[in-house]
Structures are given as C-alpha cells and as structure tokens.
C-alpha cells in the first residue's frame, strides 16, 4: 500500500485529506463519548466495550428487535419506523 502521506509536488490528494479528516473526527467523537460515559454515566471500560461487543451489545438488541418486528404481531406497528429500519 505504501505511505499514504507521501506527496506529489508537496500536496496531499483529496482522498487522503478526507481519510485524515474522517479519522480525526472519529477519534474526537470516540474520546467525547467515552469521557461522557465514564464521567456522567459512571460506566467502566468494560461497560463501554459491552455496548459494541457481546450478547448485550447495541447490535444484538437491534437484531433482536428487528426479528421481533418481523415475527411477533405485537411489534408489527414498528415495521415502518425509520429509526429502527
């Protein structure tokens, strides 16, 4: 792949600049979320990791909810909810 920061004529191309910008934005947002979760919600590193991996992760709960919407009549009213789908 080579060095993505190498330049041609001393200028980075737009794709590389966009990649750097997205990476920095993600890092800042992640730091803010982790700090907020620890300071305001009293969460530990393990609690925060559990939001993204494991049986009680956000993804697991959304999958469970989507399955319930498709298979259980009491959840059918959520079928057209744009926040879930």
Whole-Å CA distances, 74 to 4, 7, 55, 65: 52, 58, 23, 12
Beta bridge partners of 8: 11
pLDDT digits (tens, 9 = 90+) for 38-53: 999 999 999 999 998 9
pLDDT at 16: 87
pLDDT at 75: 93
Residue 37's pLDDT band (boundaries 50, 70, 90)?
A: very high
In a domain? residue 59:
yes
Domain hosting 82: range is: 52-85
- Who has greater pLDDT, 10 or 30? 30
- How many structural domains compose the chain? 2
In degrees, rounded to 5, the angle at the alpha carbon of residue 49 between the alpha carbons of residues 46 and 39 is 65
In a domain? residue 47:
no
pLDDT digits (tens, 9 = 90+) for 8-18: 666 778 888 99
**Burial track 1-15 (b if 16+ CB lie within 10 A, e otherwise):** eeeeeeeeeeeeeee
Residue 22 has pLDDT above 90, yes or no: yes
């Amino acid at each position: 792949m080579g060095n993505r920061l190498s330049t041609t004529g001393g200028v980075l191309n737009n794709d590389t600049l966009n990649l750097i910008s997205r990476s920095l934005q993600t890092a800042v947002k992640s730091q803010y979320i982790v700090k907020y979760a620890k300071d305001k919600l009293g969460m530990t590193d393990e609690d925060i990791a559990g939001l993204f991996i494991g049986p009680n992760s956000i993804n697991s709960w959304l999958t469970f909810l989507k399955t319930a919407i498709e298979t259980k009549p009491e959840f059918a009213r959520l079928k057209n909810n744009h926040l879930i789908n």
